[in-house]
Amino acid sequence: MCGICGFTGNIPNGDKVIQKMADVITHRGPDSEGFYTDSNISMGFRRLSIIDLDGGTQPIYSKDKSMVLTFNGEIYNYKELRRELIDMGYEFYTQTDSETILHGYEAWGEKVLDRLRGMFGFAIYDSKDDSLFIARDFFGIKPMHYAQVDGHLVYGSEIKSLLEFPLYEKKFNARTLDNYLSFQYALPPETFFEGIYCLLPGHYLRYKDGKLTTTRYWEATFEPNDALTEDEAIDKIEDVFEKSVEAHKISDVEVGCFLSSGVDSSYVSSYFADQKTFTVGFDFGEKYNEIDWAKGLSEKIGVDHHYKVIQSDEFWGNIKKVQYHMDQPLADPSCIALYFVSKIASEYVKVVLSGEGADELFGGYTIYNEINSLRGYQKLPLGLRRFLANIVRPLPKFKGRNFLLRGALSVEERFIGNAFMFNKAEKQKILKDGSIAHEPQEYTAKYYDRAKNYDDITKMQYLDINTWMVGDILLKADRMSMANSLELRVPFLDKEVFNVARTIPYQLRVNKENTKYAMRKAARRHLPEDWAKKKKLGFPVPTRVWLKDEKYYNIVRDVFNSETAKKFFNSEELIKFLDDHKNGKEDNSRKVWTVFIFIVWYNIYFGNDTVEAPKAGDFNY
């Protein structure tokens, strides 16, 4: 696991520039650094040594030195590919998975991507035709960003590398504020920095003669096999997942596992007997603390369990540090909890496995079951349902009101992903410049169009795989683990696992009995009953409790009254949201947190705030 960066062309003091670009991502690879520079390109690399500890230094070169590779990630089938390439006559001078990519590119060009099994973001420079090839893995587990600046292509694992390029003029992208306020994250491919983009998952980029093209080489498409029986589906899931976990454990250093009370990480950890697991929680009761569940499972399956209770001041004192590492604001408070569990794990191991991706692939989110709960009601004529919705909409809240409102909408109208913060009208009310506000459905329409032939549950999964999982789940997983120089691997997000998941009929994914139905049945063969059937908590964080506490309420109120807040928002509207929450009129915690985090982040990257070793209790925002 590493960090890469670079730029094309020649600029004054280019060697110092590429050094600075690499230095700001040292946390991604503290073990060593490497560079390649000539008159056409500068490439930088930071290494976290996992495989071939002594011989895996990058950049990696082709035999004639005409091609240069820098690589971030892990390739789990590299040994098979290596044997194939040796049979074809290619010579290897390292034992790394990195060299397999380079020789594979020599042999098969961009088709090498079809053969890879793993997570990656890599760059290959070909000096023969002065071209640059950059690729990102299938699901977007590993990041990649790029910008075209005054005739140069600038790229890097993290945006902060690109900000060190002296010709880039840092400008705020207000368009992204609009989608962030609805989704709680920056919706790819745009970022909060004007002109900087994220390369989408399953895409590669080619840059030659000043021209940039991006191409999709893989897409997560579903093809349910309705002839598949329940037992057959469970057998297939168990078999492919066991093989995936074993592949993801390949390493020359010790591998640990994150563990919550949920079935996903519990299923992963069931393959970790005599190894280490890691959990964090909060001292706010079982709803916000999964440590006892994790400890109980660890005892049953025989793993060495490590945990930490995060104190409130500790959490708040690290908000700025976390948002600095995120590069862009992310209003998912669990990213801070993930920072802490990564920090604990990094004290013991260099690699951890985690359960991300299971919900998206196998249908695990509770909201997916809304399709089943609404199915009977939606047999009524649409006109009647719309009529009833119009009657109840202006009425005060009552039991069943939300059912009638949502039942009058298609899945495309009501579901924009797992996080829905502000609609257009709400954004227009809080924003100083309401003209930037759009309905979030305008952003999701293109994904629904690509999924138009799927059933409604599969449509929701497809949308989440392409938006929520990329912009939230995998972003925080990468940034928080890498902030602690820890490699995080996700065995659910494996091509072979997906090849099974895509065939599971929706009835075996989500039904009246449970979500992730078939996957839970597979996990039950390896876990105690209570853990296999436990409902998902989703890394809960007590923000709604804190925002009613006078101490933290005042912190947020001060931020909402700040000059930065007034630059973008109508402060009195923000404070009304906050006060209504504190006084118990409405649970506005998620909306309050979304705006609060944006302002904290903006002050770091566009204001005068700093993140040099922020201390717990340092609330000077």
Other residues' Cβ atoms within 10 Å of the Cβ of residue 382: 11
pLDDT at position 616 is: 36
* Paired strand residues for 298: none
In a domain, 80, yes or no: yes
Name the one residue in this structure whose structure tokens are 């359960």.
Answer: 355
Digit-coded pLDDT (tens) for 510-551: 999 999 999 999 999 998 877 666 666 666 899 999 999 999
Say how far apart CA 68 and CA 161 lie, in whole Å. 20
Average pLDDT over residues 92-112: 95
The least confident of 224-228, 469-473, 615-619 is 615-619
Has residue 39 got a pLDDT over 60? yes
Asked if the model's pLDDT at residue 19 lies above 90, the reply is yes
Which of 298-312, 363-377, 576-590 shows the lowest mean pLDDT across its residues? 298-312
568 vs 599: CA distance, rounded Å: 9
How far, in Å, CA of 150 to CA of 586, rounded? Answer: 49
Query: Is there a domain that residue 120 lies in?
Result: yes
pLDDT at 611 over 70: no
pLDDT score, position 613: 40
The Cα–Cα gap between 464 and 360 comes to 6
CA 92 → CA 51, 67, 81, 250, 484, distances in Å?
15, 14, 12, 20, 32
Three state DSSP letters for 478-511: HHHHHCCCCEEECCCCCHHHHHHHCCCCHHHCEC
Angle at 198 between CA 196 and CA 201, to 5 degrees: 165
Q: Which of 218-232, 535-549, 572-586 has the lowest mean pLDDT?
A: 535-549
Q: How far is CA 228 from CA 363, 402, 514, in A?
A: 17, 35, 18
- Domain total in the chain: 1
Least Cα distance to 8 among 162, 136, 143 occurs for 162
Look at the chain and count its residues: 621
Q: Residue 509: pLDDT above 70?
A: yes
Structure tokens at 104: 């594979």
Q: How far is CA 304 from the centre of its chain?
A: 27
At a CB cut-off of 8 Å and minimum separation 6, what does 207 contact? 8, 131, 132, 134, 153
Provide the pLDDT for residue 55. Answer: 61
Helix axes 474-482, 319-326, angle to 10 degrees: 110
Catalytic residue check, 2: yes
Residue 118 lies in a domain: yes
Q: Note the pLDDT of residue 594.
A: 98
Q: What was the pLDDT predicted at 253? A: 85
Q: Give the percent of the chain with pLDDT over 70.
A: 95
Q: Is the peptide bond before 59 cis (omega within 30 degrees of 0)?
A: yes
Burial 179-211 (b: 16+ CB within 10 A, else e): bbbbbbbbbbebbbbbbbbbbbbbbbbebeeee
Q: Is residue 370 part of a domain?
A: no
pLDDT band at 250 (very low <50, low <70, confident <90, very high): confident
**Mean pLDDT within 566-587:** 96
CATH of residue 202: 3.60.20.10
Query: Among 268, 279, 276, which Cα is nearest to 353's?
Result: 268
Average pLDDT estimate for 443-469: 97
For the chain, what is the mean pLDDT?
A: 93
| DSSP code at position 254 | -
Q: Would you say residue 415 lies in a domain? A: no
C-alpha to C-alpha distance for 180 and 167, rounded to whole angstroms: 27
Q: 232 lies in a domain?
A: no
- Tell me the mean pLDDT in the region 386-412: 94
Residue 615 covered by a domain: no
At residue 35, the 3 state secondary structure works out as strand
Whether residue 57 is predicted with pLDDT greater than 90 in this model: the reply is no
Confidence label for 134 from pLDDT (cuts 50, 70 and 90): very high
pLDDT-derived band at 286, boundaries 50, 70, 90: low
| Range of lowest pLDDT (34-38, 164-168, 201-205, 525-529) | 525-529
The yes-or-no verdict on residue 309 having pLDDT over 90 is: yes
The whole-number average pLDDT for the span 554-567 is: 97
Q: Is residue 602 predicted with pLDDT exceeding 80? A: yes
Nearest CA among 362, 336, 329 for reference residue 465: 362
Q: What pairing do the DSSP bridges indicate for beta strands 276-282 and 255-258?
A: parallel
**What's the rounded mean pLDDT across residues 210-235?**
97
List, for residues 251-275, the tens digit of each pLDDT value. 888 899 999 878 999 999 999 877 8
Assess whether pLDDT exceeds 80 at residue 332.
yes
Place of tokens 């598949």: 228
Backbone phi, then psi, for 157, in 5-degree steps? Answer: -65, -35
Name the active-site residue from 2, 5, 257, 335. Answer: 2
157's tokens? 């694992």
Q: What angle do CA 342, 346, 349 make, to 5 degrees?
A: 120
Domain limits at 156? Answer: 2-172+190-216
